[in-house]
Amino acid sequence: MGGCCEPRSPRPKMFSVGGNNIGVFGLDEVIREVADLEPLTEDRRISELLSRFRRRNYFPDSARDKYGEALLAEYKKHISEIKKESVGGSERRMEIKVLGPGCKNCKTLESAVLRVLEEMGVEASVEKVENPRKIVELGVMMTPGLIINGKIKSTGKVPKPEEISKWIREEMGK
């Protein structure tokens, strides 16, 4: 049975809560787990962070708000680093195309994409393609269509926000 000094034993990560540095376990895992749940409201994000963090670490109920603020700040820092990840040394900007003639479903898809990007804090170029000839040239035969970084992700339906956020994370390399 391994002890605390074994090379494979988990190591605490330093984490600042209310100006105090505290050694904690599993912070990166907690952040990854919550990121996989996106899109979330900020209140739900804080709740999920606290709940998952508490499974691995103790903190007093009286410090809940301070831990919530600190976890959210760490989460946003992590998400910001993901956005800055580069491919081949140059920063990539996500390019999203919403394809459709302007019907209700096309507008719904465009709104959903913008909402997911906002909730995830991801910057992207979003282009609405309404020209039928251009839509066909892009390889989409049924609208609405969604293309992320040149890859067709959906055609003929409005995907759920969870699917959209999953595709965005995939394209961010996460």
The pLDDT value recorded for residue 90 is 42
pLDDT tier for residue 98 given thresholds of 50, 70 and 90: very high
4 in active site: no
Structure tokens at 133: 């000839």
Residue 105 and residue 51 in one domain: no
Residue 21 and residue 69 in one domain: yes
Catalytic pick among 31, 70, 106, 147: 106
Domain end marker among 84, 112, 142: 84
The pLDDT value recorded for residue 18 is 85
The pLDDT value recorded for residue 84 is 55
Residue 80 and residue 107 in one domain: no
Residue 65 and residue 113 in one domain: no
Query: Is the pLDDT assigned to residue 49 strictly greater than 50?
Result: yes
Query: Is the pLDDT assigned to residue 5 strictly greater than 60?
Result: no
Query: Is the pLDDT assigned to residue 153 strictly greater than 60?
Result: yes
The pLDDT value recorded for residue 96 is 95
> What separation in angstroms does the CA of 94 have from each of 84, 108, 117, 140?
11, 20, 10, 20
5 in active site: no
pLDDT tier for residue 21 given thresholds of 50, 70 and 90: confident
Residue 80 and residue 95 in one domain: no
Task: Let me know: does 158 contact 105? Beta carbons within 8 Å.
Answer: yes
> In the predicted model, what is the mean pLDDT of the chain?
86
Q: 151 pairs with which residues across the strands?
A: 148
Domain holding 25, by residue range, is 13-84
Q: Lowest mean pLDDT of 17-26, 31-40, 87-96, 104-113, name the range.
A: 87-96
Query: Which among 61, 58, 36 is positioned nearest to 48, based on CA atoms?
Result: 36
What beta strand segments (E) does the chain contain?
13-17, 20-24, 86-87, 90-91, 94-99, 124-129, 145-148, 151-155
Domain end marker among 59, 84, 109: 84
Does residue 102 belong to any structural domain of this protein?
Answer: yes
- pTM, entire model: 0.51
Q: CA 48, 52, 57, 62: dihedral to nearest 10 degrees?
A: 30
Cα–Cα distance between 85 and 100 in angstroms, integer? 31
The pLDDT value recorded for residue 76 is 84
Percent of the chain with pLDDT over 90: 53
Query: Is the pLDDT assigned to residue 45 strictly greater than 90?
Result: yes
Task: Let me know: does 143 contact 105? Beta carbons within 8 Å.
Answer: yes
Residue 97 and residue 161 in one domain: yes
Q: CA 111, 113, 116, 117: dihedral to nearest 10 degrees?
A: -110
Sign of CA dihedral 77, 82, 83, 89: positive
Residue 102 and residue 42 in one domain: no
CATH number for position 156: 3.40.30.10
Does residue 101 belong to any structural domain of this protein?
Answer: yes
Does residue 148 belong to any structural domain of this protein?
Answer: yes
Q: What is the mean pLDDT of residues 64-83?
A: 84
pLDDT tens digits for 117-147?
Answer: 988 888 889 999 999 999 998 899 999 999 9
Q: What is the mean pLDDT of residues 46-58?
A: 94
